[in-house]
Structure 1
Amino acid sequence: YTSGSKVGTCTLYSVRLTHGDFTWTTKKKFRHFQELHRDLLRHKVLMSLLPLARFAVAYSPAQDAANREMPSLPRAGPEGSTRHAASKQKYLENYLNRLLTMSFYRNYHALTEFLEVSQLSFIPDLGCKGLEGTIRKRSGGHRVPGLTCCGRDQVCYRWSKRWLVVKDSFLLYMCLETGAISFVQLFDPGFEVQVGKRSTEARYGVRIDTSHRSLILKCSSYRQARWWAQEITELARGPGRD
């Protein structure tokens, strides 16, 4: 990276985003910024190597070509003073704002996933922006009368990666490849959220109970599991619950 600034790797950053009337918060570690930066650089290099992409670049306006110049990302380093920490936060804020001005990167899937945005994010009829992101969900858990297998045995279920969307009255998950909605779960009077291996049988698991299903999610860390459980609970207790 070109910048000499350093950012602590263990810091958890709360990123507040606004799009029109929608406002939401996402939490990221510095490694998430690094992963995003690598993905965008890879995208830039790949597009420059593809024959059709080179043809498009050759005939694009000079301003559009300049729009592909990646902003620099500070190197990771030890934690410093409060003043230095504030300047590092501002640096990352400027980094994201700069990326969002570049059409070449703005709609690329790596950036939209980092910002936790999908095609369902900004539809007023669906309520607030809510919580979104890639998650692993466990199959089974449906409460079907007369069905003896509840999907609790490892033989009965599998883990799949999906894009989860949580609104104030329901959640759903979509196929990452196609964007097709696979399942919708309404928040009814049986709604409850639990975290931990005892209730989920999974490390860093989150269990979402309603009258019709016990949906179990698997997060990448305990901190993420607690964050998701807290956000889902707060959304469900909002106006949509009534």
Structure 2
Amino acid sequence: MKTIDLNCDMGEGFGVYSLGDDPAMLEIVTSANIACGFHAGDPLVMTQTLENAKARGVGCGAHPSFMDLWGFGRRPILGQSPAEIEKQLIYQIGALQALAHAQGMRLGHVKTHGSLGNMANEDIDLARAVARAIKAVDPNYIFVVMPGLPTEKAGEEAGLRLAREIYADRAYAANGNLASRKLPGAVLHDAEAAAERILGILESGEVLAIDGTRIPVRADTVCVHGDTADAVAMARAVKRRLDDAGYAVEPMAEWL
């Protein structure tokens, strides 16, 4: 049987503000990427998200970002060295790791958020800083990467376990990175079409970019973002299609 993970970004509220339907998503996905306080999240939100994921048997990982609450981590923050960003990542991963440890949990993976992730997928020095940060906190953590891009190369160089990721709700640029959210069609909203697309990617081993380029990919995990209005419906559709196609959908840390 083929095995795949289904992941979603979680815990992206802050203080009195909430975003997304985490309880509903936790009934569907198998891994949760939990915001660590820089683009979203706070100690209480992080703790509650860990508790909810634990209750549903969902694997947990850190979702660090640029320090950008105002822009939700989706603005490029320039002028920082890879070494500076490395320390910020260690800080964020360590914060979630400590909260998990306090309730007898262990994190399994790390996935960068937003502009930080997009930039690391085009800058090998930044990608290596991410890999070093993960390895410094726990060399057994899985590094979630995009196939064929600098994050994959940096993770391989560092000897980290990798989860190669594809996206259900995002279009791709010709270089294999995610298309800019500013472009028409960059964010997909049709749940059934997205589910069909994911199955096609998994079966064919390639993804079609917005310009028609066919990009070879290998996938271990599928991402559905949790902050869109149709996120839960899309996650349900993707999970149903994976089940129907005979995939075992399980947390990445349990089988990678």
| TM-score interval for Structure 1 and Structure 2 normalised by the shorter chain | under 0.3
Higher strand share: 1
Structure whose alpha-carbon radius of gyration is higher? 1
TM-score for both structures, normalised by structure 1: 0.24
- The answer to which structure, 1 or 2, has the higher relative contact order (CA under 8 A, 6+ apart) is 2
* TM-score relative to the length of structure 2: 0.23
